[in-house]
Amino acid sequence: MTTSDFTITFPVDQTREEVFNAINNVRGWWSETIEGSTEKLNDEFIYRHKELHYSKQQLIEVVPNKKVVWIVTDSSLSFIENKSEWTGTKISFEIFEKDNKTQMRFIHHGLVPQCQCFEACFNGWSYYISDSLLPLITTGKGQPDPIEEAAAAHSEL
């Protein structure tokens, strides 16, 4: 099955439970300034990146050690014409076993090459998933947006 939705899959040696816990530690890999709760069904949280990105996510599916799905209920991307391009898209994390490894598959459903933000969002997600979530899973330390960066961005507004 081929899809044009933005997708990243990687294997790790950690257990499915460790991967699941890292995914739900959104402050540990996306941003230290996440507002709200990020772990249970129907939890809602807000992500902000400087004045460029605002999005509100709701957890709509949580299957322990197997799957987490968010729906973007509101968004504003200041750098594109259709600022609410993310609104209504879904973000899923699937955890499964393959070749004696735990696999994590990230899919941003609706983030397709036709989207105006695709290139910037491709680069952003590639960083957060490969350079922050993956190290959080494998070493216990991610590279989220720091509190200082977010505080500086808010003071510029």
Say if residue 57's pLDDT is above 60.
Answer: yes
Mean per-residue pLDDT, 70-87: 96
Residue matched to tokens 């530690």: 25
Give 3: exposed, middle or buried? Use CB within 10 Å, 0-12, 13-18, 19+: exposed
53 band by pLDDT with thresholds 50, 70 and 90: very high
Q: What is the pLDDT of residue 147?
A: 77
Q: Architecture of 6-156 per CATH?
A: 2-Layer Sandwich (3.30)
Q: Domain spans of the chain?
A: 6-156
Q: What is the pLDDT of residue 85?
A: 96
Could you say which DSSP state residue 146 is in?
P
Q: Cα angle vertex 153, ends 77, 91, to 5°? A: 40
Q: What is the pLDDT of residue 2?
A: 54
Say if residue 72's pLDDT is above 70.
Answer: yes
Mean per-residue pLDDT, 99-115: 96
Say if residue 157's pLDDT is above 50.
Answer: no
